[in-house]
């Protein structure tokens, strides 16, 4: 992909690890100035240093933090062209409908849905100055949810619906909004969930990882860099006629 993002500015939430960190690197390689956001200052500062970007600590579920994030972006760069809503919470683990932990439910929706909406709300006034794009990191769990992982699947389905609703509204402002739906991605969050599963059932984490990988047509996990390439596609004019849609990157699981 050519360096079509020279002079553009992106905010990446959840940018300290996994998909967010890979997206920040990919955007920076294409000439984008990147604001890396997350709750853990040490990890976002490391990524920001690697991409010559700006680190801004923020909890996306807290509106004051979100206001501060976009103010910091505007103060530093005077514009915003791309928002990557990547910050997420894993859903609190495995639980069925009859034993839902409502605190985990509330935290999942606070980060995965409220956080996406708050960032979108406060990004639009900046994005509409020059037009731009929003990429929401959803999941195939929002299309085909996993049994006994109700909060996560429901929250990602909400993100997919939100994507279409907002896209219909802001297209006239020159803003595109799309979702990317990864499958099983080899991230710290994925391996943490695997560790929790084997803690309940016994066995080894690597065996559980291999079991999940084998469920896809390609027989492997998706990498963070592969998802980042999809995010980059949705963030550039290569996808210029796409809005309100979802891009599935799951190694053929759905």
Token pair for residue 103? 């605190």
The answer to whether 193 touches 201, Cβ cutoff 8 Å, is: no
**Catalytic residue of the set 70, 89, 105, 152:** 152
> Whole-angstrom Cα distance, residue 84 to residue 20?
8
152 is catalytic: yes
Exposed/middle/buried for residue 230 (C-beta within 10 Å: 0-12, 13-18, 19+): buried
Neighbours of 125 (CB within 10 A): 12
Q: What is the DSSP letter of 230?
A: H
> Whole-angstrom Cα distance, residue 155 to residue 89?
10
> Whole-angstrom Cα distance, residue 101 to residue 183?
24
Instruction: Identify the helix (H) or strand (E) that includes residue 19.
Output: helix 18-29
Q: Which residues are catalytic?
A: 152
């Amino acid at each position: 992909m050519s360096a079509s993002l020279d002079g553009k500015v992106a905010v990446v939430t959840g940018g300290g690890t996994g998909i967010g960190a890979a997206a920040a690197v990919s955007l920076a390689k294409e000439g984008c100035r990147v604001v890396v956001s997350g709750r853990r200052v040490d990890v976002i500062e490391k990524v920001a240093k690697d991409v010559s970007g700006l680190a801004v600590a923020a909890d996306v579920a807290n509106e004051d933090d979100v206001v501060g994030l976009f103010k910091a972006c505007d103060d530093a760069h005077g514009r915003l062209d791309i928002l990557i809503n990547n910050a997420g919470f894993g859903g609190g683990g495995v639980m069925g409908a009859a034993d839902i932990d409502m605190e985990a439910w509330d935290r999942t929706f606070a980060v995965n849905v409220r956080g996406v909406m708050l960032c979108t709300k406060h990004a639009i006034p900046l994005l509409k100055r020059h037009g731009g794009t929003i990429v929401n990191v959803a999941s195939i769990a929002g299309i085909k949810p996993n049994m006994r992982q109700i909060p996560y699947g429901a929250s990602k389905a909400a993100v997919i619906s939100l994507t279409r609703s907002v896209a219909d509204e802001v297209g006239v402002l020159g803003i595109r909004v799309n979702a990317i739906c990864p499958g099983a991605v080899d991230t710290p969050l994925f391996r943490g969930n695997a560790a929790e599963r084997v803690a309940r059932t016994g066995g080894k984490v690597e065996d559980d990882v291999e079991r999940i990988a084998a469920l896809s047509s390609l027989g492997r996990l998706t990498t963070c860099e592969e998802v980042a390439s999809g995010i980059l596609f949705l963030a550039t004019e290569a996808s210029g006629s796409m809005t309100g849609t979802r891009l599935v990157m799951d190694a053929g699981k759905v």
